[in-house]
């Protein structure tokens, strides 16, 4: 029997995050231990083999996301993607996905498991965009940043990867573990006027 001894960066704030808001305002939820693999490919990389290993086409445009099931590929820069998916059932040193991508791409590909580097906070509800706009310089208006979009930006001075999942809207914020508590506390404070 495997015992999961991992501790989420926001374990101590889970109750506070879950207690905020409601369907008519804004809600927060940490999605800990999501698999995250940084994928970089040289110009001669065998992309068709990468597509097969991922079971999805990589987005070619910077700032766009391709998804299948619970797996997302976020294009962060030319030939640089962050691939995320649900946590693996048991803690491992490296995700199976990173190994599959390295095998598929060979020497023309770098696939590094960075799952322990960041945690994920989902920000959901009609006021989600407003809360994030308090600390983000990116134009989050639906015409500029809608579902299927992503960006690297600063949110309340913390470097994050921001992704919009759907029209609800739900935003996924990937933040470094060392900044997670700071950002969660900032989000709770920024949401005060919307959940009063």
Domains of the chain, start order: 11-32+117-191 (3.30.1360.120), 35-113 (3.30.70.1520)
pLDDT tens by residue, 65-79: 999 999 999 999 999
List the Cα angle 170/24/167 in 5-degree steps: 30
pLDDT at 196: 64
Question: pLDDT class for 149, splitting at 50, 70, 90?
Answer: very high
pLDDT at 4: 67
pLDDT at 14: 92
pLDDT at 3: 64
Indicate if the pLDDT at residue 153 is higher than 80. Answer: yes
Indicate if the pLDDT at residue 112 is higher than 90. Answer: yes
The torsion angles phi and psi of 118, rounded to 5 degrees, stand at -130, 160
SS3 35: strand
pTM of the model: 0.93
Question: pLDDT class for 118, splitting at 50, 70, 90?
Answer: very high
Please, how many CA atoms are within 13 Å of residue 6, restricted to the half-sphere of its CB?
19
Give the Cα separation of 4 and 106 in Å (integer): 32
Q: Find the mean pLDDT for residues 124-129.
A: 95
Give the Cα separation of 158 and 153 in Å (integer): 8
The torsion angles phi and psi of 96, rounded to 5 degrees, stand at -60, -30
pLDDT at 93: 77
Give the Cα separation of 124 and 21 in Å (integer): 10
Q: Mean pLDDT across the chain, nearest whole number? A: 93
Indicate if the pLDDT at residue 1 is higher than 80. Answer: no
The torsion angles phi and psi of 75, rounded to 5 degrees, stand at -85, 110
Q: Are 43 and 54 in contact (CB under 8 A)?
A: no
Q: Find the mean pLDDT for residues 138-165.
A: 96
The fraction of the chain above a pLDDT of 90, given in percent, is 86
Q: Which of 9, 11, 16 has the alpha carbon at shortest distance from 187?
A: 16
Indicate if the pLDDT at residue 24 is higher than 90. Answer: no
């Amino acid at each position: 029997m495997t015992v999961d001894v991992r501790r989420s960066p926001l374990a101590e704030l889970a109750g506070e995050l879950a207690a905020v808001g409601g369907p008519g305002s804004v809600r927060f939820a940490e999605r800990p231990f999501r698999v995250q693999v940084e994928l970089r490919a040289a110009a001669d990389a065998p992309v068709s083999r990468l597509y097969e290993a991922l079971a999805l086409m990589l987005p070619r445009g910077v700032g766009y996301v391709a998804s299948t099931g619970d797996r997302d590929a976020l294009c962060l820069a030319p030939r640089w993607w962050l691939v995320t998916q649900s946590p693996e059932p048991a803690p491992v040193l490296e995700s199976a996905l990173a190994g599959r991508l390295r095998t598929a791409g060979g020497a023309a590909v770098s696939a590094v498991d960075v799952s322990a580097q960041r945690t994920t906070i989902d920000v959901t509800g009609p006021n989600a965009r407003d809360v994030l706009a308090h600390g983000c310089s990116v134009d989050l208006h639906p015409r500029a940043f809608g579902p299927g979009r992503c960006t690297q930006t600063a949110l309340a001075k913390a470097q994050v990867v921001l992704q919009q999942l759907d029209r609800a809207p739900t935003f996924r914020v990937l933040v470094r573990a060392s900044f997670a508590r700071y950002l969660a506390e900032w989000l709770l404070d920024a949401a005060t006027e919307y959940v009063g």
